[in-house]
Structure 1
Amino acid sequence: MKKSPYDVIQAPIITEQAMDAMEHNTYTFRVDKKANKAEIRQAVEAAFDGVKVKRVNTINVKGKNRRMGMHAYKDPDWKKAIVTLTEDSESIEFFEGM
């Protein structure tokens, strides 16, 4: 079964550090935990027109342990992808107004 680009890319990560990295053509996304680098590259190029991916770095993020009163629980683990675009690539318009 072929995955949609929107099944692989779940959400953009909008933090101060991620916004500073955008000046260097680097964008950060929350992605499917089972997606590999090749699938992430194809999903970004398919979801955004005129974008060419130079490099994809992935990080498995452990969920935090939390407490509410005497009840303890753990947030789910998730995967972060840091996508670097080529110099001749267009920027991703989704992030332009931020």
Structure 2
Amino acid sequence: MILMSTIKYPLATEKGIRAVESENTIAFVVEKTATKSDIKAAIEKLLGAKVVSVNTHNGPDGEKRAYVRFSNATPAIDIATKLGMM
């Protein structure tokens, strides 16, 4: 799967920003056909950060969201700042 088509954009909501600060997690909107391993590989390649876990959620609005938790070595707040979320 092509990396840029796997990850659409980061989800910058109030709940998402709280997760960045407290849980070292960033939410992304992803392709509906993307698997957890596709998402993990794309994030690690695009951002150069170690991913600990990926949780996915198919929302009622038809979007698939991926909640990506990063290792303690790479704080999510630094990644969010690089992505322009903060």
Q: TM-score range by the shorter chain?
A: 0.7 to 0.9
1:59 aligns with 2:60: no
The one-letter amino acid paired with 1:47 is: L
Equivalence for 1:94: 83
1:5 aligns with 2:37: no
Q: CA deviation at 1:89?
A: 2.4
Q: Show structure 1 runs of 5+ residues with no match.
A: 64-76
Judging by fraction of residues, say which structure has more helix.
2
1:2-38 deviations in Å (ceiling 9; x for gaps): x222110001101011001111210000000000100
1:62-96 deviations in Å (ceiling 9; x for gaps): 22xxxxxxxxxxxxx1200000001112541214x
The one-letter amino acid paired with 1:79 is: K
Q: Which has the larger radius of gyration?
A: 1
Distance 1:6 1:18 in 2: 21
1:24-61 deviations in Å (ceiling 9; x for gaps): 21000000000010000000001112x00000000011
- SS state of the match for residue 38, structure 2? helix
The one-letter amino acid paired with 2:58 is: N
RMSD: 1.4
Judging by fraction of residues, say which structure has more strand.
1
Q: Percent identity?
A: 33
Question: Any runs of at least 4 consecutive aligned residues in structure 1 with deviations exceeding 4 A, and if so which?
Answer: none
Equivalence for 1:84: 69
Distance 2:59 2:17 in 1: 19
Equivalence for 1:66: none
Matches within 5 A, 1:4-23: 4-23=2-21
Distance 1:46 1:4 in 2: 11
